[in-house]
Amino acid sequence: MALDQAAEAVVCAEGVIRRGIESLASAEGGVDRHQVLAYDVAHAAAATATARAALAYGQQGELEARITAAFVADVLADLGAKLAGRERQWGAGPELLAPADGFVAAHRDPDTLAALCGEEGPRHLGEEFELARATFHRFADNEIRPHAEHVHRTNGDIPEEIIRGLAELGGFGLSVPEEYGGFASGGESDYLGMVVATEELSWGSLGIGGSLITRPEILTRALVHGGTEEQKRRWLPSLASGELLAAVAVTEPDFGSDVAGIVTGATPADGGWRVNGVKTWCTFAARADVLMLLARTDPDRAKGHRGLSLFVVDKEPADGAGFVLEQAGGGRMEGRPIDTLGYRGMHSYELAFSDWFVPADNLVGGEEGAGRGFYLQMQGFENGRLQTAARALGVMQAAYEAAYAYAAERKVFGAPILDYQLTRAKLARMAVLIQATRQFAYDVARRMASGQGALEASMAKAYVCRAAEWVTREAMQIHGGMGYAEEFAVSRYFVDARVLSIFEGADETLAIKVIARRLTTSA
């Protein structure tokens, strides 16, 4: 009965979302003029899509149904809060959610939530993926976690033994087709395997675990979709084996998510191109052997994204302290590290290119690839958004486990804080949120394997990354004063989670320019 009521509640939420989309689509100026509404509609749509995926999970058992009901009730409550005082903009009122009021009250009841404390629910991955999960989890536990705190506290480099170990596991070849030395067979397992592996590696550490496989993943997707056969055979086997490590150079100081406006230029030269300009937030750029560089090859800026091309730029690896590389012909590349609050180990850089020479053969797609760079890099970034959602899942799971263990040990007023209703309700909401968003990530992975799911990948990224901020914040709060102490890993989870809504598409831009725009276009 609870699951039936949850399904009816989701239908109510979907009705409100439709009203919001229609209102936004018909409003003068659309998403660009009504940004607050666009942002709220996008996040509400993402939450409701997650709830829809959770319904399928809830059908697999009594515990799964209870977890689903608790999640759906929270989604409805949050949607009601978004509507409050903005009914005119949404074109909808609370009466549309009223049929679900009893369901929401029952499953947001504090005692009902507290009774779920400690119940994470099975993942229902199947034997093959459970084996993969166990393998990457063991690697994260044995090889990544022992280094995570030291690298974070010292802002150190990723230990080479982690890179070698991940290469031996095949972690860099998850998306590389089998014919080029990887493990991708072209089926559902490619995307789902990537999600599973990324979550477990991020459980070990976001900075030196889960994010290690993101950059080669982005470059791999671009090459698979747009590279020449010669380029695929040249780079993909080395990316799969970990012989070549990749970084991505797209963002510029004045152009973040507005990729179409970038100004770093590549001008024709004898036998290739000369690159001039500045890129920023190039994560892992020092240690990388190659850069995926997006540059303007058509000087007519009026052409926007149609004037951009994608290059694979060879470079020598360097340490994390910054670097200067020079070419015999006078080219120069300088990398300045950007100190960050968290997400350490990967290191981010500002890269300055001065007449850096790139051979003609390194233009992705060859001559036919000129002007297609924006589309090719988006092939990688759409999958990167799903992978970022998986990274958020790993950080949330680590924070939840740390909070639960601490709550069981820490005594206040004569009893473990795990015995208190508020603590139990918080932990239950964490576990419910993690499992529901995990199931949505699995659902999106299956969609993407069939050539769909680009919008849902953006939704997953937007929703899960904001959820990670709440989960890690509450995990830190459960630790009390010790949560603010650097000797406990939960403080690292908190600062690492903060970057998730910023990179791979800033939350506001993703919500307004991608999710809301696509929703209103199809309205």
pLDDT of residue 515: 95
Question: What's the pLDDT band for 73 if we cut at 50, 70, 90?
Answer: very high
What CATH number has the domain spanning 246-368?
Answer: 2.40.110.10
pLDDT at 259 over 80: no
pLDDT of residue 320: 81
pLDDT of residue 258: 63
What is the average pLDDT value for the chain, to the nearest integer? 93
Structure tokens that stand for 98 in this block: 């009223």
pLDDT at 523 over 70: no
Closest CA to 296 of 270, 268, 256: 268
Domain ranges of the chain: 2-108, 246-368
Rounded CA-CA distance 286/280 in Å is 13
Residue tagged active-site, from 149, 161, 504, 508:
504
pLDDT of residue 95: 95
What are the φ/ψ torsions at residue 175 (nearest 5 degrees)? -110, 0
Closest CA to 405 of 417, 420, 422: 417
pLDDT at 25 over 80: yes
pLDDT of residue 372: 92
Closest CA to 472 of 214, 211, 203, 283: 203
pLDDT of residue 329: 84
Percentage of the chain lying above the pLDDT 90 cut: 82
Summarize the confidence of residues 25-49 as an average pLDDT: 96
pLDDT at 89 over 80: yes
Rounded CA-CA distance 75/10 in Å is 9
pLDDT digits (tens, 9 = 90+) for 467-504: 999 999 999 999 999 999 888 999 999 999 999 998 87
Closest CA to 351 of 375, 328, 324: 324
Q: Do the domains 2-108 and 246-368 sit in the same CATH topology, yes or no?
A: no
Rounded CA-CA distance 212/245 in Å is 9
pLDDT of residue 164: 95
pLDDT of residue 310: 96
What are the φ/ψ torsions at residue 62 (nearest 5 degrees)? -65, -45
pLDDT of residue 411: 92
Burial track 72-109 (b if 16+ CB lie within 10 A, e otherwise): bbbbbeebbebbeeeeebbbbeeebbeebeebbeebbe
pLDDT digits (tens, 9 = 90+) for 342-391: 889 888 999 999 999 999 999 999 999 999 998 888 877 778 889 999 99
Closest CA to 504 of 166, 198, 231: 198
Where are the alpha helices (H) located in 411-453, listed in sequence order?
A: 421-449
- Amino acid letter for position 290: V
Q: Which helix (H) or strand (E) holds 48?
A: helix 35-58
CA Rg value for the chain: 23
- Amino acid letter for position 140: A
Name residues whose C-beta falls within 8 Å of residue 30's C-beta, 6 or more positions apart in sequence: 24, 38, 520
Percentage of the chain lying above the pLDDT 70 cut: 99
pLDDT of residue 247: 94
pLDDT of residue 384: 82
> Which CATH architecture does the domain made up of 2-108 adopt?
Up-down Bundle (1.20)
Reply yes or no on whether 127 is catalytic.
no
Rounded CA-CA distance 492/217 in Å is 25
pLDDT of residue 257: 60
Q: Which helix (H) or strand (E) holds 292?
A: strand 290-296
pLDDT digits (tens, 9 = 90+) for 154-184: 999 999 999 999 999 999 998 899 999 998 8
Question: What's the pLDDT band for 213 if we cut at 50, 70, 90?
Answer: confident
pLDDT at 188 over 80: no
CA dihedral 384, 390, 394, 396 (to 10 degrees): 110
CA distances from 293 to 126, 147, 253, 262, 516 (A): 38, 31, 15, 11, 28
pLDDT of residue 431: 98
pLDDT at 256 over 60: no
pLDDT of residue 41: 97
Q: 102-106, 483-487, 503-507: lowest mean pLDDT where?
A: 503-507
Structure tokens that stand for 493 in this block: 């989870």
